[in-house]
Structure 1
Amino acid sequence: MQTRQEAIQYCHSFQDVYEDYPFHDDNWCVMRHKENKKTFALIYDKDGYVWINVKCDPEWREFWRNAFESVVPAYHMNKTHWNSIILDGSIPDKDIRRMIGESYDLTKGKKK
């Protein structure tokens, strides 16, 4: 996964999600759950790369940051619960997909 469009397309592979642009800035694409409106990925361009902010379990936060130099404390988010993934080609697609999937699961809410 290298491009913004690939990231957005992958996020759309999850059930009941939509794109939002709430900041009046087309650079920031926010992927949300339809049911609870919670964000599970923020996709944007910064410093010449596509970045994706994803929610993570605090127990896994440091694992991801230590495993890949391109996973850093999230830009403009709570750094306890969010990481930024920099799409610079250094992280295998399977790991990017796993982090996005974990974020989706953590934000989808509880079944009633």
Structure 2
Amino acid sequence: MTLDGETLLKTAANRAEELPGAGLEHPFGHDWEVFKVRGKVFMLMTEVPGRPVVILKSEPAEAEALREQYENVTPGYHMNKKHWITLEGGNAIGEKLVRELVTESYRLVVGGLPKSQRPVDPHTYGRRS
């Protein structure tokens, strides 16, 4: 299934809103939706010249593999290119993949928080047994 830009944003936002402790802010104006957990960014959404995009944290090796596999996955827009990826709507990017990547970004950020501030266990949350 192919996701257009608006469906990409809606899918990512819906998943982010389901995550424990996640919240939406607009620190850069109305054009940027920034999702944070305990004050740390795990997802950004905006339009890059007219194209809706979702920017997510990713393990460097996973980010590289995703960029090689999907033409709609590029280095993180205005972020560290090694640790962040940008998703655009289009071929091969489906809702399931978007939901998984949002969850993984959240888990990576939660894993960097002090244990006392973690809303979930990042090693087990969202993983299938």
TM-score, scaled relative to structure 1? 0.87
Distance 1:102 1:4 in 2: 16
Give the stretch that moved more between structures: 91-100 or 73-82: 91-100
Q: Deviations over 1:40-63 (max 9, x none)?
A: 000111233220110000121111
Instruction: Name 1:26's counterpart in structure 2.
Output: 30
For 1:44, the equivalent position in structure 2 comes to 46
1:73-112 counterparts in 2 under 5 A?
73-108=75-110, 109-112=113-116
Name the residue aligned to 1:7.
12
The structure whose residues are more often helix, as a share, is 2
- SS at the partner of 2:99? helix
The higher radius of gyration belongs to 2
Query: What TM-score, normalized to structure 2?
Result: 0.77
**Where does the alignment leave 5 or more consecutive residues of structure 1 unmatched?**
none
- Structure with higher RCO (Cα < 8 A, 6+ apart): 2
Quick one: percent identity of the two aligned structures?
28
- Encode CA deviations 1:78-107: one digit per residue, 9 max, x unaligned: 001000011235302111111111100000
- How many correspondences in the alignment? 109
Determine if contact 2:31/2:46 at 8 Å carries over to the other structure: yes
Q: Cα RMSD (Å) of the superposition?
A: 1.6
Gaps of 5+ in 2: 117-129
Counterpart residue number, 2:22: 17
